[in-house]
Structure 1
Amino acid sequence: MKSADRRNSLALAMLGAGAAFFLWSLRRNARRIDFLGKTVVITGGSRGLGLEIARQLVKEGARLVLLARRPDELERARAELARSGGDVITFPCDVGVRQQVEEAVAAVIELRHKIDVLINVAGIIQVAPFENLELKDFQESMDVHAWGPYHMIRAVAPHMQRRRSGRIVNVSSIGGLVAVPHLLAYTMGKFALTGLSDGFRAELAKDGIYVTTVAPGLMRTGSHVNANFKGQYKKEFAWFAISGANPALSTSAPAAAHKIIEACRYGQARLIVNWPARILHAANALLPEVTSFATGMAARMLPAPAASTDNEQHPGWDSRSKLAPSLLTRPSDRAIEANNEQPAESPYVARVHGGRQ
């Protein structure tokens, strides 16, 4: 009798799980959108991950608006996407400056009449021991990673609320869920963005607006040459470039972009890109003391601080050494020009092309 009861209980549990999955599938598919003809605004869309997202959305027939700080990068991105048949307009804009954001959004509404999707990708990376970071580094991170998306959402949300539909994607980082040594300023900004994004998701759900928080792990976008390094900057750049280039630990830009677009398509609440990032997040949630010990050990292995007089920022392309570029960084180096990260005349790119890897 007991055996029969157990079988019945198991059957009921399986039936309930099946029904829950069916209902979840129906709800998920009901949220699905098609990007054909949709107006999609991408901040940081001129290079790296933002540009790769733009490429894939062009293939789906989206009408793109790219925002970034540098007009020359925007023009190269626009020209490339236009050659692929893309309907693309661009606006130079520093998302950390509220007035520039409001002016850009107003111009988009005037030209496109609506904004269906907002994807906040714009970001900066500062790598250094905390002793070599200054207040302005933290302020810059907050301006770009937290205030930038805030300004964009505050400007765009009212238009979506009037139409009672919209999608917003905020690209945070695994560094916005778990603190990473020598990325303290970056981590501060990304943690703020994660909380902001999750909060907006709750606030805007009533208006038919789905907000997705994305936390990528390491990616091979070519952005390492545009990151900024302080302290023993050549050593900092070497470990950063090598770790991000490892195919076993990092995701290619096209693969990451595809996952982000799919998360947006279905209005997914959160996306953590790649398995090392998911494991790190789970470990930090379940075993915080173990994670703390591991990150502390990692910090001890990273370059020591330099004298405070060496607090000048050095971009990655000006931080090359015997280790970078090298065979160890080649998977990421291949993405530099492909993703509009650095002109061909860059000394770093010239070294890569010179074959001295």
Structure 2
Amino acid sequence: MNPRRDRFEGRTALVTGSSRGLGLLIARELASRGCRVMLCARGAEGLGLAERKLRAVGAEVASSACDITDEDAPQQLLDAVHERFGPLDILVNSAGIIQVGPMETFEEADFREAMETMLFSPLRLTLAALPDLRASAQGTLVTISSVGGRIPAPHLLPYVTAKFAAAGFSQGLRAELTGSGVSVTTVFPGLMRTGSHTAARFHGRPGAEYGWFGAAATMPLLSMDAGSAARAVVRAAERGRPELVLTPAAKIGVRLQGLAPASMARLLSLSDRALPGPGERPRRDVRGAEAAAQSRLPRWVTTLGDRAGRRLGEPRPHN
């Protein structure tokens, strides 16, 4: 890794959800620009592997394993950053979960879990980090929402609910922090090839739900290379852009949602009708690898996504 001189060189960054997927790639991109990076994720084993991967390419990196939904997680993470690197300059809220299935198969607990992971946890961490970010000469906050935070995609209702809320918090925060020296960027990624189809949790008819989600999350015309996405996120943060929408399909969808919401609502309704129903005996919370084994989706369809998942630490499908 050859760090180059730029706006982020010598800064300290904390990236949540960075043991795998987009979070890991954002951490790597920040390190390539001369940042000291603290990784954070729930699983100590995956986190240790991610840290070793980044160290192998020359990154100045450390890690702190914690569950960000714990109320004491913000202080634990900031203490780890301060002890190892000093004051925090850049915070990237990237941790998330994906629950896939028809509305009828979700319970209130599913929505609470999604909101706790993707709204309240980053909210608590952001508020705890703001003194550091205000004091920094380059205070930067990045929130990874989703195109699902702009467009209410069917069969992803808990995820969509939390991502809409996270986007609102991030955009409102930017308005209130104007003039404070803290830059806030909200990112709305479309589908990316990170292997997320194997990490998602499926409800209703898991094999059928995996079929459409796995195909969409890995096909080149619908999904984006995650490394390119990470580079775009860091560039947007460097430039202080208020928001970033990633993938051509997501940009078209966001534009249509803004210009013709009634037409978009009809398209989403048609999409919902084409997706699997809950089935006679719906199942709940089936992990992606198990859902893959139940799916009729040919393995070759998800080849690109599976390869990305292996590189980025996602679990492997078994079908």
TM-score band w.r.t. shorter chain:
over 0.9
Residue 323 of structure 1: CA displacement?
3.6
Residue 331 of structure 1: CA displacement?
1.4
Match of 1:244 in 2: 217
Matched, 1:204 2:177: yes
Query: 1:164–1:207: 8 Å Cα contact kept in structure 2?
Result: no
SS at match of 1:215: strand
Match of 2:286 in 1: 314
Match of 2:230 in 1: 257
Equivalent of 2:45 in 68, 72, 75: 72
Residue 54 of structure 1: CA displacement?
1.6
Which amino acid in structure 1 is aligned with residue 291 of structure 2? S
Residue 57 of structure 1: CA displacement?
2.1
Query: 2:206–2:283: 8 Å Cα contact kept in structure 1?
Result: no
Cα gap change, 1:267 to 1:305, in 2 (>3 Å): same
Q: How many Å separate the matches in 2 of 1:106 and 1:284?
A: 42
Can you list the C-alpha shifts for 1:175-233, whole angstroms capped at 9, x where unaligned? Answer: 00010000000000000000000011111222100000000001001111010001001
Q: How many Å separate the matches in 2 of 1:106 and 1:200?
A: 24
Q: How many Å separate the matches in 1 of 2:203 and 2:211?
A: 12
Q: How many Å separate the matches in 1 of 2:254 and 2:138?
A: 31
Q: How many Å separate the matches in 1 of 2:86 and 2:178?
A: 23
Match of 2:84 in 1: 111
Equivalent of 1:271 in 237, 244, 250: 244
SS at match of 1:206: coil
Q: How many Å separate the matches in 2 of 1:336 and 1:124?
A: 15
Q: How many residues matched?
A: 314
Match of 1:178 in 2: 151
What TM-score do the two structures reach when normalised by structure 2?
Answer: 0.95
Q: How many Å separate the matches in 1 of 2:207 and 2:303?
A: 17
SS at match of 1:230: strand
Which amino acid in structure 2 is aligned with residue 71 of structure 1? A
Residue 313 of structure 1: CA displacement?
0.6
Residue 324 of structure 1: CA displacement?
3.8
Which amino acid in structure 1 is aligned with residue 87 of structure 2? K
Cα gap change, 1:311 to 1:102, in 2 (>3 Å): farther
Query: 2:17–2:23: 8 Å Cα contact kept in structure 1?
Result: yes
Q: CA RMSD in A?
A: 1.5
Cα gap change, 1:54 to 1:162, in 2 (>3 Å): closer
Q: How many Å separate the matches in 2 of 1:120 and 1:329?
A: 27
Of all paired residues, the percent bearing the same amino acid is 37
Which amino acid in structure 1 is aligned with residue 168 of structure 2? G
Can you list the C-alpha shifts for 1:271-300, whole angstroms capped at 9, x where unaligned? Answer: 000111011111111111110110000000
SS at match of 1:245: coil
SS at match of 1:329: helix
SS at match of 1:334: helix
Q: How many Å separate the matches in 2 of 1:312 and 1:289?
A: 32
Cα gap change, 1:80 to 1:163, in 2 (>3 Å): closer
Which amino acid in structure 2 is aligned with residue 318 of structure 1? E
Q: How many Å separate the matches in 2 of 1:299 and 1:52?
A: 32
Match of 1:123 in 2: 96
Residue 170 of structure 1: CA displacement?
0.2
Query: 2:208–2:295: 8 Å Cα contact kept in structure 1?
Result: no
Greater CA drift, 47-56 or 181-190: 47-56
Greater CA drift, 56-65 or 218-227: 56-65
SS at match of 1:313: strand
Can you list the C-alpha shifts for 1:123-171, whole angstroms capped at 9, x where unaligned? Answer: 0000010100011110010011101210111111111223354000000
What TM-score do the two structures reach when normalised by structure 1?
Answer: 0.85
Query: 2:6–2:33: 8 Å Cα contact kept in structure 1?
Result: no
Equivalent of 2:31 in 34, 54, 58: 58
Residue 322 of structure 1: CA displacement?
5.1
Which amino acid in structure 1 is aligned with residue 207 of structure 2? K
